[in-house]
Amino acid sequence: MRGDAFAAFVVILESKGLPAHIIDEQKLAMIVNEERWDLVPLVLAWLIREDDEVKQAFTVFSDAAQKCMANLRAGSVKAANKRATEILSERYRGVFLQAASVYARKLSTLEASLDHLSTLTLAELESLAAEEDDLSARVAAISMKISDEIKRREAKKGAKAKDEKLDPVRQFARKLANDGNYPSRRQAVFAIKADVLDYARTLDGVSLSEQQAEKTIDGWLKEMPDADSLFGRKDGGGR
């Protein structure tokens, strides 16, 4: 584009009787882009100022030279940006691979020691979870959640087993209450408490706390299908 504009400019100069060798394309482009008008030969400067055809041709060349320079600069910036992006990508890739390697080694170590996590105390697990290392903290947190869930299920299972063991005592208490004639559930509890405790002591593997006996027996009687009609409603629902 710039070359074509310069060729047209030279043809017009020669038509005006000015030899083309007085200036070359590179030098004229430098003069335009750097605005070094003091370097323009006097005869050429005079023609550009006085001759409209030469002025127009010079304007076309100037525009082409400036666009060419802008494209070169844009290309340089683009190339520089591309290289910078490549360098940054390589750096991030290196950091990622290094971090991945560290985490892989740590995960391998933690997995190898999973069998020993169950032997750690709660304080040791909490200490591990409090460490700044994210992977260790996550593994510890998961371990504690698993441990809590196991304990919860074991407690639930234990409570169910205990309840099943107490079933004969529960049935005995309900039979005593049903056979008696008690105006309220509270009076029934007080009346049968001693007999229920004595019966519980005769059974192997059954434990009924004397301190909690009243509350436990009251709960059993309250759950009886005919509790309301059996104990009446004299003092607030049989109490």
Look at residue 190 in the predicted model and tell me its pLDDT: 92
Q: CB-based contacts of 97: which residues, under 8 Å, 6+ apart?
A: none
Q: Helix, strand, coil: what percent of the chain each, to 5?
A: 80, 0, 20
Rounded to whole angstroms, what are the CA distances from 163 to 30, 199, 206, 215? 100, 16, 10, 15
Q: CB-based contacts of 238: which residues, under 8 Å, 6+ apart?
A: 184, 185, 186, 222, 227, 228, 230, 231, 232
Look at residue 226 in the predicted model and tell me its pLDDT: 83
pTM score of the predicted model: 0.36
How far is the C-alpha of 192 from the C-alpha of 172, rounded, in Å?
10
How far is the C-alpha of 1 from the C-alpha of 10, rounded, in Å?
14
Residue type, 59: T
Contact status, residue 199 vs residue 239, Cβ threshold 8 Å: no
Q: Name the maximum alpha-carbon separation found in the chain.
A: 141
**Token pair recorded at residue 185:** 């559930």
Rounded to whole angstroms, what are the CA distances from 167 to 19, 59, 109, 203? 123, 109, 49, 11
Look at residue 235 in the predicted model and tell me its pLDDT: 42
Look at residue 61 in the predicted model and tell me its pLDDT: 83
DSSP symbols for 50-66: H-HHHHHHHHHHHHHHH
215-219 contacts: CB < 8 A, separation 24 or more? Answer: 216/166, 217/173, 217/189, 217/192, 217/193, 218/185, 218/186, 218/189
How far is the C-alpha of 56 from the C-alpha of 58, rounded, in Å?
5
Look at residue 37 in the predicted model and tell me its pLDDT: 79
Q: pLDDT in tens for each of the 239 residues of the chain?
A: 777 777 777 777 777 777 766 677 788 888 888 888 788 777 778 878 888 887 888 888 888 888 887 777 666 545 555 666 666 666 656 655 665 666 666 666 556 555 565 666 667 666 655 655 566 666 667 767 777 778 888 888 777 777 788 889 899 999 998 888 888 899 999 999 999 999 989 888 888 888 888 999 999 999 888 888 787 644 444 44
